[in-house]
Amino acid sequence: MKHACVIGWPVAHSRSPVIHRYWLKLYGLEGAYEQEAVRPEEIAEFLKTLGSHGYAGANVTLPHKEAALAAADRADQAATTIGAANTLWLDAKGLLHASNTDAYGFMTHLAQEAPDWNKGKRPVMVLGAGGAARAILQGLIEAGASKILLANRTGDRAKVLAQSFGPRVSVVPWEDRSKALAGCGLLVNTTSLGMTGKPPLDINLSALPLDAIVADIVYSPLETPLLAAAVGRGNRTVDGLGMLLHQAVPGFERWFGVRPEVTPALRAHVAAHLEAS
């Protein structure tokens, strides 16, 4: 019987068990998916001994994503470029491999919901410069975005992030975020604004073309105030739940040997959990 887990501090908020346990049951696999609350001062030792804890691999959430990359014997290009890992697995020799599947998750969902997101190669506006923003930028650039405008409340953080991605990313001052939407084909919110318990994202969408797509990676609530405003003026929207579901696929396949599907039934199952909590 294979075991995997999600490691975080705290970890109780993680939705990963809901997703992976659904798939284990659906595919009739003999496996288990646990939660491991590991203190920051104990994470290096825990990861070094992941196999002796009985795990074939793990998801890693805040605040351990950088430590997970540092602990790995091998890291793929996504983890290296993003500078953080969210998926770990042990190979037959006991080597610890690290990947970051956030960019894969976001881009897979975006390509499904709005396959024409880069039609006309119009600029993409990304709000936020945290860990998730780095993954989104990596995914967008790899998929062919030619001009990305990046705005973040803390301007210096946006500058550092933009520099690491080269000339396709340019920084827009946070106070200019609304007017910079003119001519954009895609707007992505990667800040935590709009999340339950946080203030809504304060942005005026009136300059955004009506055929532009608005994506939010916040998934609780499923329809954030940003997405509601976009729907209200007729823009197509892409929510954050699809990213969460798709980022889980590669890890499950590594640990349990079956590539799982993201289906409407899984979406409904996880959405019901989100609503109940």
Q: CB nearer to ligand NAP: give 157 or 168.
A: 157
The least distance separating ligand NAP from the CB of residue 97, rounded to whole angstroms, comes to: 21
The length of the chain, given as a count of residues: 277
Which residues would be at the binding site for ligand NAP (CB under 6 A)? 102, 105, 128-133, 152-154, 157, 190-193, 195, 217-219, 240, 243-244, 247
3-state secondary structure the chain: CEEEEEEECCCCCCCHHHHHHHHHHHCCCCEEEEEEECCHHHHHHHHHCCHHHCCCEEEECCCCHHHHHHHCCEECHHHHHHCCCCEEEECCCCCEEEECCHHHHHHHHHHHHCCCCCHHHCCEEEECCCHHHHHHHHHHHHCCCCCEEEECCCHHHHHHHHHHHCCCEEECCHHHCCHHHCCCCEEEECCCCCCCCCCCCCCCHHHCCCCCEEEECCCCCCCCHHHHHHHHHCCEEECCHHHHHHHCHHHHHHHHCCCCCCCHHHHHHHHHHHHHC
C-alpha 98/C-alpha 100 separation (Å) is 7
Told to judge if 65 belongs to the known catalytic residues of this protein, a careful annotator would answer yes
**Is residue 200 reached through a cis peptide bond, with omega within 30 degrees of 0 on the bond before it?**
no
Q: Residue 77 or residue 196: which is nearer to ligand NAP going by CB?
A: 196
Choice between 31 and 131, CB closer to ligand NAP: 131
Say which of 25, 65, 93, 179 is annotated catalytic. Answer: 65
CB nearest ligand NAP: which residue? 130
Report, as residue numbers or ranges, the catalytic residues: 65
